[in-house]
């Protein structure tokens, strides 16, 4: 990710010097079909903003997310995840002639990190916020695209997240359902309310009739409340 960030910074500077240069890197489906195949990859180096302040924030955030994922997954797995996202964005450009830009790709990295460490806190606009909420805020734009009918673009844009995490999330959901079913079965198989576990051999009180009573088993294997516990026996437990 450090190389991706460095090339994003370089392209940003080149875009300031010659804005027309950026159009040669955009994922244009028609241009790709004419043989400009570099556009299948070059679009990941296009910055999402021309603001000097936001480009610094964007590059630092991208660096942090990438480095954290690499420390968690290792370089190989992170590279596969990133390349799958690149593949999805390139397919969207070829099939639909639409550039997803880096928005979905960076958001997919953030989603991956938020799934692995949802309660990790970060400073979001100088406010401490859990990573899962930052990821949900970032999903506002993809949700808007989905509601406007662009769901194929969203699927392609998050194909890496779907491949990596959807099977595990489905299994986790299934396990939760099984645990809930077992809990409900256990609750339904509880002993009836009139069933007692303790009863005094002398007076017949139980933990149901006298909830505050204490019971002991003497060495004759009989159960007594503390008021009627045989005093002459010393082997009570």
Q: ∠ at Cα 102 (104, 14), nearest 5°?
A: 175
For 104-121, what is each residue's pLDDT tens digit?
888 999 999 999 988 888
CA dihedral 1, 125, 157, 31 (to 10 degrees): -70
DSSP 137-186: HHTHHHHHHHHTT-HHHHHHHTHHHHHHHHHHHHHHHHHHHHHHHHHHHH
Q: From CA 97, how far away is CA 89, in angstroms rounded?
A: 11
The pLDDT score that the predictor gives to residue 191 is: 52
- Split at pLDDT 50, 70, 90, the class of 21 is confident
Q: From CA 11, how far away is CA 93, in angstroms rounded?
A: 20
Instruction: Taking each helix axis as running N to C, give the angle between helix 159-188 and helix 101-116, from 0 to 180 degrees, rounded to the nearest 10.
Output: 30
Q: Examine the pLDDT at 180 and tell me if it is beyond 70.
A: yes
What are the extents of the domains in the chain? 2-174, 192-237
For 40-80, what is each residue's pLDDT tens digit?
888 888 877 778 888 888 888 889 999 999 999 999 999 99
- % of the chain surpassing 70 pLDDT: 91
Q: Could you please state the CATH topology (level 3) that the domain comprising 2-174 is classified under.
A: Rhomboid-like fold (1.20.1540)
Average pLDDT over residues 194-210: 82
190: Cβ contacts below 8 Å, ≥ 6 apart: none
**What tokens does 179 get?**
């645990």
* Residue 119 near residue 130 (C-beta atoms within 8 A): yes
Contacts of residues 25-28 at CB distance under 8 Å and 24 or more positions apart, as own/partner, are 26/99, 27/89, 27/90, 27/92, 27/93, 27/99, 27/100, 28/93, 28/97, 28/99
Average pLDDT over residues 191-211: 78
């Amino acid at each position: 990710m450090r190389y991706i960030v460095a090339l994003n910074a370089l392209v940003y500077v080149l875009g300031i010097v010659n804005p027309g240069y950026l159009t040669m890197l955009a994922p244009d489906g028609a241009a790709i079909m004419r043989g400009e195949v570099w556009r299948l990859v070059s679009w990941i180096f296009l910055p999402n903003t021309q603001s000097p302040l936001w480009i610094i924030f964007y590059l630092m955030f991208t660096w942090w997310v990438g480095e954290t994922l690499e420390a968690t997954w290792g370089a190989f797995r992170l590279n596969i995840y990133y390349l799958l996202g690149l593949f999805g964005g390139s397919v969207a450009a070829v099939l639909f002639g639409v550039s997803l830009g880096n928005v979905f790709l960076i958001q997919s990295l953030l989603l991956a990190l938020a799934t692995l460490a949802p309660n990790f806190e970060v400073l979001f606009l100088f406010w401490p916020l859990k990573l899962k909420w930052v990821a949900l805020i970032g999903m506002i734009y993809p949700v808007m695209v989905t509601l406007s009918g662009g769901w194929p673009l969203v699927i392609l844009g998050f194909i890496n997240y779907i491949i990596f995490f959807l099977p595990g999330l489905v299994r986790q959901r299934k396990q939760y359902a099984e645990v809930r079913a077992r809990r409900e079965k256990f609750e339904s198989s509880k002993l009836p309310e009139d069933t007692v576990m303790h009863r005094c051999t002398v007076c017949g009180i139980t933990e149901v009739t006298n909830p505050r009573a204490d019971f002991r088993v003497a060495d004759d294997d009989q159960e007594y409340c503390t008021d009627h516990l045989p005093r002459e026996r010393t082997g009570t437990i």
